[in-house]
Amino acid sequence: MDTLHPLIDRFGREYVGRRMMLQARHSADVYGGYGRLRFHPENSELLPWLARVGLKVAGLAGRTRRNCLDYHVERREFRIRNLPAPFHGLRILHLSDIHSDAIPDRGERLIRLLQGLHGAYDLCVLTGDYRFQTSREYDTSLERLAPLLKPIYCPFGMIGILGNHDFLEMVPGLEALGVRTLVNESLHLERDGQRLWIAGTDDPHFYAAHDIARSLADVPASAPTILLCHSPEAYQEAALSGVDLYLCGHTHGGQLCLPGSLPLITNAAVPRRLVSGPWNVDRMLGYTSRGAGASGIPARLNCPPEVAIHTLTG
Ligand SMILES: [Fe+2]
């Protein structure tokens, strides 16, 4: 109960109750499985085994595993309307889908990469999915996340949100690691008396717990706003709500892709152009990270993991 009281105080009894009921139902499905075969992809050893065998037969097992550590640094510029002058040139390190407890080298290479980016960004945002599994315990993911976040140092600190692999109870642990975690909340950065608003929703993909209106409730009308949302799936509502920049992940860019980065599975009900990289919907700009980690099995093909640095211009 010690974990729950601060959550209830912050998010309300009803919200915490609903999120945890969905988490419990999902965990029951994972443990109990569906139908007579009591099957669930996450408690099945068959599917990962089949995938591993398939990759091995295709001669791709070693390559797809090594690809998980072939981090690309993606750099983009985003022109934000009404961006206050003190924020022109603001650099945002964007990490997503770390799935920290399943990185083949336990994060050694990612840590070295992040150490090398010291001084290259002013703010770090994390768009969810810190854990590999979607149920069971989460302490291991937080323990493995800690050394990955240690090299991250910047004037505006780290701001994160939850993904569909993350339980609400992870919020205090994430905040103890220095990640201010927004759950349908917002905050503002301040420079020379000017403000840039960052809003963050809860997961829209599995828990459908995102509440964009609530996330933006404290944001003044027409103030420049960045929205962090785990999946691109809330893009329509965000565009109608006046969000300027929508940062997300979840899709892993497909993770296992055909040549030409063509995803076989996107795991998100969005147009293909929103599955990875920069996009726009009406006047709202967006960016979907391919993520730094992998889920299902530690394998990537034609879809390298990424760390992004976004620069804002006016
Ligand atoms: Fe996800």
Reported as a pLDDT band with limits 50, 70 and 90, residue 42 is low
Cα separation, 162 vs 159, in Å, equals 11
How many domains are there within the chain? 1
Cα-to-centroid distance, 95 and ligand 1 (Å): 13
The CATH number of whichever domain residue 236 belongs to comes to: 3.60.21.10
Does residue 119 belong to any structural domain of this protein? yes
The number of helix segments (H) and strand segments (E) in the chain equals: 9, 14
Ligand 1 centre distance from Cα of residue 98 (Å): 10
Residue 36 has pLDDT above 70, yes or no: no
Chain centroid, CA 72 distance in Å = 17
- What's the rounded mean pLDDT across residues 231-241? 97
Residue 215 pLDDT more than 80? yes
pTM, two decimals, is 0.94
Residue 32: inside a domain, yes or no?
no
Residue 49 lies in a domain: no
Confidence of residue 51 (pLDDT cuts 50, 70, 90): confident
CA of 61 to the centre of ligand 1 (A): 23
User: Would 14 be classed as within a structural domain?
Assistant: no
Residue 46 in any domain: the answer is: no
Centre of ligand 1 from the C-alpha of residue 120, in Å = 27
Domain that holds residue 257: 69-313
Cα of 82 vs centre of ligand 1, distance in Å, is: 31
pLDDT at 134: 86
- Element of type H or E holding 226: strand 225-228
> Per-residue pLDDT tens for 109-167?
999 999 999 999 999 999 999 999 888 889 999 999 999 999 999 999 999 999 999 99
Mean pLDDT, the chain, whole residue set: 93
Q: How far is the CA of 303 from the centre of ligand 1 (A)?
A: 16
